[in-house]
Amino acid sequence: MLDSIRVLYVEDDERLARPTVESLELEGHEVHVVPRGDLAVADVARIRPDVVVLDLSCAGVDVCRQLRARYAAPIIMVTERAGDHGADAYLEKPLQPGELLARIRTHARRRKIATLPPV
């Protein structure tokens, strides 16, 4: 079994967040949902997520940059439009929970490997 992953999920639409949160929690992961980007920026050091899932429509590119400057967690951008916004990965809406879970696992694993002390 994989270790639990702590996810900071920035989504302002509770109806969209609920199935994603339920899916991730069923897999044993810890999910913190915040409805606005400014709250994510304020809470990122306290929550210390392994991965940030950031809805571009409610948070914006500036929030991505602020999160990146404050914390080293991988950022998965959820967006309705393609483009380079400074995230580690992009997923288009509507979210497919299986694909999101796979991306979260991949980026959390990479982060943990990158922070292991040298042998």
Q: What is the model's pLDDT at position 1? A: 41
* Exposure class string for 18-31: b at 16+ Cβ within 10 A, else e: eebbebbeebebeb
Q: How is domain 6-114 classified at the architecture level of CATH? A: 3-Layer(aba) Sandwich (3.40)
pTM flag (> 0.85): no
Taking the C-alpha atoms of residue 13 and residue 32, their distance in angstroms, rounded to an integer, is 14
Sign of the alpha-carbon dihedral angle for 86, 115, 111, 26? negative
pLDDT tens-digit profile, the chain (119 residues)? 458 999 999 999 889 889 989 999 999 999 999 999 999 999 999 999 999 999 888 777 899 999 999 898 999 998 876 666 677 888 887 777 788 888 998 888 877 765 545 44
Q: What is the model's pLDDT at position 119? A: 44
